[in-house]
Chain A
Amino acid sequence: MCGIVGFYGKTSKMREALGRSVAPMLVCMGDRGPDSTGLAVFSDSRNGNERSFSLYSADRSYGWQDLAEYFESECGAVVEWRSNHAVMRTDSDRDRVAAQLREHFPHIHLLCVGKKMNLYKDTGHPSEIVERYGLSSLQGSHCVGHTRMATESAVTPFHSHPFVAGEDFCIVHNGSLSNHHSLRRRLEKEGIQFETDNDTEAVCRLLQWRMREGDSIEEALQRAFFEVDGFYTLLIGTEDRLVLVRDAFACKPAVAAETAEYVAVGSEFRTLAHLPGIRDADLFEPAPEKIYSWNVST
């Protein structure tokens, strides 16, 4: 069992209060996934070339000052941190920044790089993670979150969802895949590198690889319906889309709610019950192997 949540704010009011809507959703879904928590949040970049680097330290009392000063002098980066998580913004070359991180701060883990996406994830119950990272105060257009009850690979920060590949692409998964090792071997032949042995990472990299090769997300998902064996409800976030699918058996739950102000997705209705106007929302349960997609307006 795991919990998935997603939210897309259609109005500036909902976007300013994104964290206030989503934090209780994560905490509620702690019942379905108490061992790890993650949230990927999309918000507008400040300028066209600027990228956001989400950074993680295993040491909760890590002092980020040295890292902030180093990258400020190297590339004018701005670093903001809270506990063992930091967000660094810079328009410097991404590979160069990643190489500098590896060389000078090898104990810091780069969670993701994106023009719009920031990623927060760690082991721990969502009530703890929400508090530690201040997720209630986050703003953004849309987000994808997960609470994990691990079944097939280790409980570590890096086995937590959301999984990312490339830039501004993330996925959360409730279920389990049975052919992820063979998918992985095939993708590795394409030169694709993995960070963990987690099943969800395989489908994440499969989809992002197909999209990089020119498939639309719909085409990539149709291929995944055919190639991925197992149970899944998947929620995918891209820079301008929120996409929800369930496998043919549809034995992993999901409920979606839409109003004039927002779209909200959760594993169970009770995780949406606190949202404003939920009584009058258009509520539905996604059908098997049907692609539900919302375009995020700017």
Chain B
Amino acid sequence: MERFDLAEISVRALNRQLHRELDTSRVAEFEIVNPNGLHNIAVGLDAPIKVHIRGHGGYFLAGMNKRAEVIVDGNVGWSVAENLMSGIVRVKGFASECAGASGHGGLLVIEGDASSRCGISMKGCDIVVGGSVGHMSAFMAQAGRLVICGDAGPYLGDSLYEAVIYVRGELHGLGADAREEPMIEADRLALADLLKRAAFEYSPREFKRIGSARTLYHWSPASTQVY
């Protein structure tokens, strides 16, 4: 395990270390101390490594992550795991706005609450939130699954494409074109797998499914009020 202290080196120097050529015959592990809310920690990783961040992170933590597993002991600022490609990012505290924005693949787990616009424009990643999410989550989400174990704020899934949302708690209003749909066996299997990988012990039967009604896919002169 290599240890980096952000009280002593810059985020740029840290990220250079994490981007260097590594012996991938073993899983390299890194520990980062004193993150102190700094921005851009562990962005652009592209190696099967494990990075453990001991404390609170700032904006864009683990952005564009590929293959790496990043664990944050504390909270994170805006846009954690933005454009996530693969690998796992786990936040043990809460996440600010735009968590997992436009992620293409991989898994983002937030054990606490996520703020507004969680999963905005997600394109294939999976996001599991242990707590609640704020307003306009999964706005224009195109592909992937957003699992919310707590409550969902207003305008959930506004202008949703093919992403699917599972909510265990209360809904505080759906966005345009989002609708509640029946849970089928395939949903329960997919959800059970996601909950297991995220390490939450809820039953898929406790969740409801939100999907797109697809009325906004094609412009219609009859629905100008919706646009």
Contact B135 A270 (CB under 8 A): no
Residue on B nearest A31 in the bound complex, by CB: B39
- Decide yes or no: A273 and B115 within 8 Å by CB, A251-B97, A285-B94, A287-B134 being known contacts: no
In the bound complex, CA of A269 to CA of B55 (Å): 11
Residues of B8-49 at the interface with A, using a CB-CB cut-off of 8 Å, are 36-39
> How many contacts between A and B, using CB within 8 angstroms?
46
Q: Does B100 contact A (CB under 8 A)?
A: no
Q: Which of B37, B96, B135 contacts A285 (CB 8 A)?
A: B96
Q: Does A181 contact B (CB under 8 A)?
A: no
- Shortest C-beta distance, A93 to chain B (Å), equals 47
Q: Does A253 contact B (CB under 8 A)?
A: yes
Contact A288 B116 (CB under 8 A): yes
Contact B135 A273 (CB under 8 A): no
In the bound complex, CA of A270 to CA of B36 (Å): 6
Contact A253 B37 (CB under 8 A): no
Number of interface residues of B (CB under 8 A): 19
Contact A269 B77 (CB under 8 A): yes
Residue of A250, A269, A271, A283 with most partner-chain B CB within 10 A: A269
Q: Which of A251, A269, A284, A288 contacts B56 (CB 8 A)?
A: A269
- Shortest C-beta distance, B91 to chain A (Å), equals 13
Contact B116 A250 (CB under 8 A): yes
Contact B56 A273 (CB under 8 A): yes
Task: Kindly list chain A residues whose C-beta atoms are within 8 Å of the C-beta of B55.
Answer: 279
Q: Does A272 contact B (CB under 8 A)?
A: yes
Q: Does B119 contact A (CB under 8 A)?
A: no
A-B contact pairs, 11 of them (CB 8 A): A250-B116, A251-B97, A253-B96, A268-B77, A269-B36, A271-B37, A273-B37, A273-B56, A283-B93, A284-B94, A285-B115
